[in-house]
Copies of this chain bind each other. A is one copy, B any other.
Amino acid sequence: MEHNGFTLWFTGLSGAGKSTLSTRVADELRRRGVKVEILDGDEVRTNLSKGLGFSKEDRDTNIKRIGYVCKLLTRNGVVAISAAISPYREARDYNRAQIGRFIEIYVECSIEELTRRDVKGLYKKALAGELPNFTGVSDPYEPPLKPEIAVNSGTESVDQSFRRILDYLEQRGWIPKADVPSGAGCGCKH
């Protein structure tokens, strides 16, 4: 079965949950027979953007480069998932225009909550002024104005956010509905 490609574009601060959610969504889509590629921030920095820094210009180059690869995948029937921070609205909107079949998912989370988690200790450092170009603290983050989907990892569980993304994609026909599990019966009363 051949599916039509599209791009799922996650955006949000470091630690907000983009990678976790994108992996959950990718796994579920693959389970349903959909072709998926995740372009994660770190993998992309290695394979596409080595040498780029964190100035606005370099960040935009990085994001447009990911967008170019998403475009190639999308028009060949693959679901391309980007999970890079992508702080600037203009670069995201550029990709939207280039790709066409583009669904933006804003993974929101407050700085307070991110500082509380702070798995890598980066927020404390950034708030102490020790990290220049740290998105959301010492570098800008421009939230989407009209994302197709907005989730909040400070107020929802991963399961809830995941479910809302899946519902959106199913209800609008982007992905096939899950098959009824083979042991689940038909749901009627006999």
Contacts and interface: CB of A to CB of B under 8 A. Distances in A.
Contacts of A64: 47
Contacts of A2: 2
Nearest to A98: B47
Contacts of A76: 35, 37, 73, 76-78
B51 A68 contact: no
Interface in A30-87: 35, 37, 47-48, 50-51, 61, 64-65, 68-69, 72-73, 76-78
Interface string A1-43: 0100000000000000000000000000000000101000000
Q: Lowest 10 CB-CB distances: which A-B pairs, in order?
A: A47-B68, A76-B78, A35-B76, A37-B72, A69-B69, A48-B65, A72-B73, A76-B76, A2-B2, A48-B48
